[in-house]
Amino acid sequence: MSKLWSGRFTANTAQEVQDFTESISYDWQLYKYDIQGSIAHAGGLKRAKVLALTEYQKIVSGLKAIEKEIDQGKFKFDSGLEDIHMNIETALTQKIGDIAKKLHTGRSRNDQVATDIRLYLKANINFLLNCLQELNEVLARQAEKNKDIILPGHTHLQIAQPVLLAHHLLAYVEMFLRDKQRLIDVYARTDVMPLGSAALAGTTYPIDRKAVAKELGFSSVSENSLDAVSDRDFIMEFQAAAAVLMTHLSRMSEELILWNSSQFGYVELADNYTTGSSIMPQKKNPDIPELVRGKTGRVIGNLMNILTIMKGLPLAYNRDLQEDKQPLFDTVKTTVDCLRIMTGLWRTIKFNPNKMLADAAKGFSTATDLADYLVRQSIPFREAHEITGKIVRYALEHGKSLNEMSLAEYQLFSKKIAKDIYKYISLTGSVRSRKTYGGTAPEQVTAALKRVKKRI
């Protein structure tokens, strides 16, 4: 079958060139958006009196019939036709005849594919936002249900200070709410229609671009035709936003892997969200968070891919841009899959509050509270810090926790320490004292939960 652009050529494309340049093996995923864009473009041609009403109706009917065939898996894609645009246009010509040849008037594959990708990404950003919302809702519910559980907060992976489990879970909600905002920002810059820019210089036909944009659901049209066909900023931004989102999921995964280990024992992952070992029958492996952690590398790599493609491209369109799609499709699918499976995992997780509380009592996690107590006794913080350090060293040498030391032992280091010290260095006392906005005190966490529910 001759190619739609073959008029200038006297020889057929070499098979190896055809195999090397085809993109239909993956850009078929754009078919709905390509057909949507073509229908809107046909409407623009009708309003510009390039198409008669009957011609427009036949084109629209033919395109919808092709879409139905693809939906039902009956359409045969031909790699010899290079891409999704050529496949659909050729099929339309076969279906309705020469009228179909008028459809490409006033446009190029350059502005066509740029429009398709933007439509695709807008739809998938919305889907990702829904997936993010589901995960945040599950995390917020787990926080609400387990808001009295105390666990040790860590720095340098060492026990630092006690916090509420709800406070810990809401830290991830904050990350994902920022991810949500980043995706919303990306959406705004994706929501610009390039169609009508043609190859690079615009079109000579009086197409009402704003009317076409309105039909396609774009909020605005591109300002510069050269930029419109070669701009992939929106893909770079999306890949960056997705990489940050996946990094947050990876951090969460790392923590779940640690928490699920026998050394921590803070959580038990549900049987239907874990796998076993082929040789060790006792194993129950956290494969889901491990895979999420691993897939994060793919998404970060996809960001590097598009940045590297774009860094040396002169204006306007270059075939290098064909390479923007596979990494984009991969990032969308990977991020969606990871969000959905992590949502299911968090929905079914079980916590071990006794182990969390026991660990929170270790590692002198209320030492800062002891220093703060001394400050209240009019001792400068740096001096209070030094006294507390000496007390901790004494406790270590004598195999005691802070709660196990007697008042007489405390007063070896400062006579200003009174019997009320035990109230301040208890785990509950420590948590309750963190009353600043955004802190881990129960009333602050309860207020944060109320705010988060509205923000989600």
**What one-character DSSP code corresponds to residue 275?**
B
Residue type, 5: W
Distance separating the N- and C-terminal Cα atoms of the chain? 53
Angle separating helix axes 31-47 and 109-145, nearest 10 degrees: 130
Residue 351 has pLDDT above 60, yes or no: yes
Supply the pLDDT for residue 4.
64
% of residues, the chain, pLDDT over 90: 92
Please tell me the predicted confidence (pLDDT) of residue 15. 85
156 catalytic residue (yes or no): yes
Higher pLDDT, 279 or 106: 106
Place of tokens 């529910």: 453
User: pLDDT tens digits, residue range 21-31?
Assistant: 899 999 999 99
Q: Which of 113, 125, 126, 109 is CA-nearest to residue 33?
A: 113
Q: Which of 25, 156, 220, 253 is catalytic?
A: 156
What distance in Å separates the CA atoms of residue 371 and residue 384, rounded to the nearest whole number?
Answer: 5
> What number does CATH give the domain 14-105?
1.10.275.10
Residue pLDDT, tens place only, 179-208: 999 999 999 999 999 999 999 999 999 999
Q: pLDDT band at residue 6, thresholds of 50, 70 and 90?
A: low
Angle between helices 165-190 and 233-260 (to 10 degrees): 160
Q: How far is CA 95 from CA 44, 65, 66, 79, in A?
A: 22, 9, 9, 19
| Residue at token pair 């309705």 | 96
Q: Is residue 161 within a helix (H) or strand (E), and if so which, with residue range?
A: strand 158-164
Band of residue 282 on the pLDDT scale cut at 50, 70, 90: confident
Cα–Cα distance for residue pair 286/265, rounded to 1 Å: 13
Question: Is residue 8 over pLDDT 90?
Answer: no
Which candidate in 6, 61, 277, 398 is catalytic?
277
Cα–Cα distances (Å) from 374 to 380, 388, 400, 416, 430, in that order, read: 8, 9, 20, 7, 14
CA–CA dist 343, 136 (Å, integer): 8
Measured CA to CA, the distance from residue 156 to residue 307 in angstroms comes to 33
Identify any residues that bridge with 80 across adjacent strands, giving them in sequence order. none
More reliable by pLDDT, 21 or 88: 88
3-state DSSP assignment of residue 337: helix
Q: Is 79 a catalytic residue?
A: no
The backbone torsions φ and ψ at residue 154, rounded to the nearest 5 degrees and listed phi first, read -120, 145
Half-sphere exposure of 315 (CA within 13 A, CB side): 9
Of 405, 251, 403, the closest CA to residue 342 belongs to 251
pTM: 0.93
User: What is the torsional sign of CA 375, 378, 382, 385?
Assistant: negative
Topology annotation, domain 110-358: Fumarase C; Chain A, domain 2 (1.20.200)
> What is each CA distance from 287 to 276, 283, 299, 337, in whole angstroms?
9, 11, 18, 14
For 361-455, give the CATH class. Answer: mainly alpha
Helix or strand run (H / E) with residue 258 = helix 233-260
Q: What are the residue boundaries of the structural domains of the chain, listed by start? A: 14-105, 110-358, 361-455
